[in-house]
Amino acid sequence: MQSVTIPSGPWAGIASAALVALLSAGCRADAVDRLAASGIAPVYNDKTGRLEQLVSDRDGDGTKETRAFMDGAVIKYIEIDRDADGSPDRWEYYQSKPNVIDHAEEGVSVDRISRREFYADGVIRRVVDDTDADGRPDKWEHYENGSLVRLELDLIGKGYASQRLVYTGAGDVARIETDQNGTGVFTRVMPSEKK
């Protein structure tokens, strides 16, 4: 049996299930039939016979919402149509070996990205978000070992973080800080410092 590295990433489960089924069955017809029954369809290159895509109807409504672009057993990227309007609104890009997510983007189109996620070894490290769709970031998330440790927000529309929430390892807010002047120096607001 051929070995495969299970892909990591928010939407990689579809691709990993399909890869395991295909490779464990040696890409035989019965594996393709099992995938089809679960809403996943492999697409092969007509000339080379190499796996090029895994297409999935995640919710069983007859519309293919997820398309993983493959180079054999290696995921290159995945397109996801989360709102079922016929166009992708999330793109995940993978490292070639092993199949580990590198970064992801979300938006109304590939030309209008509002959210960017960055990963290290398949674990989320930071997110840059344009929550009000004005073309510039206004929310920054920072992670350590996959846990949110700091959230920075532009609450005054100036293009820089004016408020910062710092989290404990348990996910609770440890303190809130502000920077109203854009100097990069934050002052603790809550809880107030002991005197």
pLDDT at res. 193: 60
pTM for the structure as a whole: 0.80
**Domain ranges across the chain:** 1-114, 130-195
Mean pLDDT of successive 10-residue segments in the chain (195 residues)?
42 52 51 70 91 84 87 89 88 85 90 93 94 93 95 93 94 94 90 62
Exposure string of 31-70, with b = 16+ CB inside 10 Å and e = fewer, is bbebbeeebbbbeeeeeeeebbbbbbbbeeeeebbbbbbb
